[in-house]
Structure 1
Amino acid sequence: MKLFFAFAIIAIALSVVYGAPADPWNEYKTKHGKKFGSTAEDAQRKKLFLAKDALIAKHNSQPKASYQLEHNEFSDMTPAELSQYLGAVKPANKTRSLESMVRLEMETRQLPDSLDYRTDSCLPGVRNQKQCGSCWAFAAITPLEFARCKKHGALRAISEQQLVDCEPYDYGCGGGWYTNAWYYLQYEAGGAAKRSLYPYTATDNTCAFSSSMIGAKISSYGDLPSFDAAYMQSVLQDYGPISVAIAVTDSFFSYASGVYTDVECDDPNAYVNHAVVVVGWGTDNGIDYWIVRNSWGTKWGSAGYILMERGVNKCKIEKYPATILSVV
């Protein structure tokens, strides 16, 4: 009995010195500001979190893993909720979206080992589409902002919400396609609104665009050949960021760092469901990668970016590339 009390006193003393054992669920809720309306919902969310926690721990324990995972705001979400942060919907008929496109003629050249627009003054800060499937609009606007800045020497924020509300070929927060967006801006709207005059709301609203809001105009945009990484590199170097569509699977939501090489998204049955923007390339530990800009804010991934394996059509990233060629 005396021995039992001695151990109990030691345990209490250690608890005072080092604190009680950490509760990862409560720590996660505090860090990400998660609050739930009932104990039942809390229990459901905790179950989702613990499943993700096990997946993250298993992956990160692999000694040869080329990338790491971490918890973020998505760790306690259901598959249905996660799908609301995607939104690439490939047009069934691409005739309209490709009408103004031209085939680029890129000369053979010696490409540099790396290119990184993340620190370029013409690339705006990473934005957050929030719980609206408008990734296609964000993927359309970034190359436009970059191209306009390179021509006029100053960065101007352009509206994604105009596309969500007004572009007639897609589905707003229900998804869309970046070349449809460019077609609408060039041929129907006559230009893209300034973001300050048409701010982002992450909801579907009635179109409120007027020509007095225009802050950028597209002259031409181009499709790139599929499955040609070197061609994409040349276009990146000459024209700037490239819009692409990718197939997002579970691990993508938890990406933290390193070169993403998950093979799950390479499944032939996996379909593209998210639009992002390629802003550079490089090589890490012998693995070639693209630098990819997401639209989930700066708290996701590496300050809003992910490195994705290059030259192997990882997650179908090299299947549907397109870019802005010129602006007014």
Structure 2
Amino acid sequence: MANPGMYTALTLLILVSCCRCSMWEWGPDLEGPWCAKRPFGEQCCDDRNDDCSVPILGTECYCDVFCNATAYDCCPDYWSLCHGITRRPSPTPFTTLPPRTTRFPSSITRNDCVKDGITFNPGEKLQDNCNECICEVYAGPPRRYEWRCADDVCLIRPSKIDAVNHGGHSWKAANYSSLWGLSLQDGVKYRLGTFPLEVNVVRMTPIRVKLDEVIPESFDARVKWKDLIHPVMDQGNCGASWAFSSTAVASDRLSIESEGAIKDELSPQHMLSCDVDKQLGCEGGYLDRAWWYLRKRGVVTEACYPYTSGQTTKAGDCQIAPRQRQGTCPSGAIYKIEKRYKATPPYRLRPLEREIMKEVMDNGPVQATFQVKEDFYMYKSGVYRYSNLSRDEAPENRLSGYHSVRIIGWGVERTPQGDINKYWICANSWGTDWGENGYFRIARGVNESDIESYVIGAWGKVTGDVRLRRLLQRNRRRRISSGKKFRSLRTCGRKQRRRNGGRCRRHKKKHKKQKKKLFEKL
């Protein structure tokens, strides 16, 4: 039998000699405590003890003598705590433990880190939708390796898709590869982008639309003004719906008012990069300030200033001066002042279904702001109504935000059960792979998700081309003269009509005054 003193001396000799060897070192970020966190009396273990370990960086380090026998897997404070030997940590600021290949704790009976039939090693990571998972030791009992995943709420949730599709709802849901892997918080931040309306904007007095004709059961601006309604764009991962919807409505109105003489698509990137007064670019913006910029500064075409923020998630620096008259575009094309378009002051419509329909039918698409809730991202087809499937879940599962889109028409859907679903046709800005080729239908007449609460219209303006400017003014005057912009303002009472011989003279004067004031703005 060997002498115990000789064994102890031999062990220390091996340890000290190993300290002088070229071994893997840890950085100052891992100085500990590690072994010192173990229960008193069990901090340092003799011989081999596979339970004498501490979790570290998704794997384990050890506090027994065997930790340096074959593969270096000692805890960073093992030498100082167990042997009183001070080792200088590596100057490297961060440390990643190397994979342990020669030691597998005998007390761990199985590895549950399996995905799609593939077994992962301790410390390995994978991405599960919007959550990152790492294979770590589970203390048990029994002790085993299993996945530890983040707990973020994902934007696309297969359980919600199944619940919508099999729950008797008026719409269908689907998975989108462009949205897979994003959290719900990411969706609100990067896929929307319209700030809630300020109090003074909400108080904006709406116009009254004259309702003097029968409104059809269905209408589509793409059919009435063929080739004049601009296609759906994709804002990508940039909260820029405030810029996309404003420039899209202005583009459509210019095409319609010019009777096809102007078919240019206005640049949302120009507005995104250059309209910086209290706007936050890809983090959101206000609609009233977007229209102010269109009215005062104007916006060039998409061909001149192409969209790039969807890939960078940044608005970028403005590359066009506010009063630039010549030079080159960001795209390299020649800058033309006549291709910088403006808009008149926007006007608000009353939140009445028929008045919104009449405005779209007479003058073209309008801009609408609505509240996007957690299930809308998964919309595929049908007439959208909020499913409210997350009503019993935590608030973080029901995050919502505001989004702005174009309303381009309406219609009616009759179900096999005999139900009638009235809907708006809206153009989104998430690309043509989303929804019904980039469009969606949403319940009409019930202010679903506030879609009818704040609806905006505007007319376009031309700055450089005199011929086009006169064409727009002539067509606009014809609309006003035909009474399509104003309804009768005869709102006086019975007594006043008797005094005025059955007429509301004061209101007629007000009507003429409003017309004259509008003409002066043109």
Partner residue of 1:278 out of 392, 404, 407: 407
Contact 2:192 2:401 in 1 (8 A): no
SS at match of 1:257: strand
* Higher relative contact order (Cα pairs below 8 Å, separated by 6+ residues): 1
Q: 1:196 and 2:282 equivalent?
A: no
Quick one: distance in 2 between partners of 1:45 and 1:121? 46
Contact 1:221 1:326 in 2 (8 A): no
Contact 2:360 2:408 in 1 (8 A): yes
Partner residue of 1:295 out of 425, 429, 434: 429
Contact 1:68 1:255 in 2 (8 A): yes
Aligned residue in 1 for 2:289: 180
Quick one: distance in 1 between partners of 2:407 and 2:413? 17
Q: 1:206 and 2:289 equivalent?
A: no
AA matched with 2:318 = C
- Cα 1:322–1:149 change in 2 (3 A) is same
TM-fit CA distance, 1:66 = 1.0
SS at match of 2:440: strand
AA matched with 2:200 = K
Partner residue of 2:215 out of 103, 106, 111: 111
- Cα 1:139–1:110 change in 2 (3 A) is same
TM-fit CA distance, 1:86 = 0.7
RMSD (CA atoms) = 2.9
Quick one: distance in 2 between partners of 1:229 and 1:238? 14
- Cα 1:183–1:233 change in 2 (3 A) is same
TM-fit CA distance, 1:93 = 4.8
TM-fit CA distance, 1:49 = 7.1
Which shows bigger deviation, 138-147 or 256-265?
A: 256-265
Aligned residue in 2 for 1:222: 347
AA matched with 1:216 = Y
TM-score by length of 2: 0.50
Deviations for 1:163-209, whole angstroms, at most 9, x for unmatched residues? 1112224221111133321111112x1x2111111111212122222
SS at match of 1:250: coil
Contact 2:155 2:377 in 1 (8 A): no
Aligned residue in 1 for 2:196: 90
AA matched with 1:256 = K
Q: 1:162 and 2:270 equivalent?
A: yes
Quick one: distance in 1 between partners of 2:241 and 2:365? 15
TM-fit CA distance, 1:250 = 1.6
SS at match of 1:246: strand
Contact 1:67 1:261 in 2 (8 A): yes
Partner residue of 1:41 out of 127, 133, 136: 127
Deviations for 1:95-124, whole angstroms, at most 9, x for unmatched residues? 5996xx872442333101111124531111
Partner residue of 1:304 out of 417, 434, 438: 438
Q: Percent identity?
A: 26
- Cα 1:156–1:50 change in 2 (3 A) is closer
TM-fit CA distance, 1:220 = 3.7
Q: 1:127 and 2:237 equivalent?
A: no
Quick one: distance in 1 between partners of 2:422 and 2:435? 18
- Cα 1:196–1:79 change in 2 (3 A) is same
AA matched with 2:213 = R
SS at match of 2:238: coil
Quick one: distance in 1 between partners of 2:263 and 2:250? 10
Contact 2:125 2:132 in 1 (8 A): no
Contact 2:192 2:241 in 1 (8 A): yes
- Cα 1:104–1:142 change in 2 (3 A) is farther
Deviations for 1:134-178, whole angstroms, at most 9, x for unmatched residues? 001111011111111123314101110121112224221111133
AA matched with 2:343 = I
Contact 1:179 1:322 in 2 (8 A): no
Quick one: distance in 1 between partners of 2:429 and 2:238? 11
Contact 1:243 1:275 in 2 (8 A): yes
TM-fit CA distance, 1:91 = 3.9
AA matched with 1:113 = E
Quick one: distance in 1 between partners of 2:132 and 2:447? 34
SS at match of 1:273: strand
AA matched with 2:424 = W
Q: How does 1:49-64 map to 2 (within 5 A)?
A: 52-62=157-167, 64=168
Between structures 1 and 2, the one with greater helix share: 1
Quick one: distance in 2 between partners of 1:222 and 1:39? 53
Deviations for 1:221-242, whole angstroms, at most 9, x for unmatched residues? 211113x111100110111111
- Cα 1:107–1:270 change in 2 (3 A) is farther
Partner residue of 2:378 out of 250, 254, 273: 254
Deviations for 1:42-72, whole angstroms, at most 9, x for unmatched residues? 473798779711211122113x321100111
TM-score by length of 1: 0.78
Unaligned runs of 5+ in 2: 1-114, 117-123, 134-148, 326-334, 392-397, 415-419, 463-522
Contact 2:154 2:183 in 1 (8 A): no
Unaligned runs of 5+ in 1: 1-24, 27-37
SS at match of 1:298: coil
Contact 1:75 1:254 in 2 (8 A): no
TM-fit CA distance, 1:249 = 1.1
AA matched with 2:449 = C
Contact 1:239 1:324 in 2 (8 A): no
Contact 1:292 1:307 in 2 (8 A): yes
Which shows bigger deviation, 165-174 or 46-55?
A: 46-55
Quick one: distance in 2 between partners of 1:94 and 1:204? 27
Larger Rg: 2
Aligned residue in 1 for 2:280: 171
- Cα 1:201–1:103 change in 2 (3 A) is same
TM-fit CA distance, 1:327 = 3.1
Aligned residue in 2 for 1:79: 184
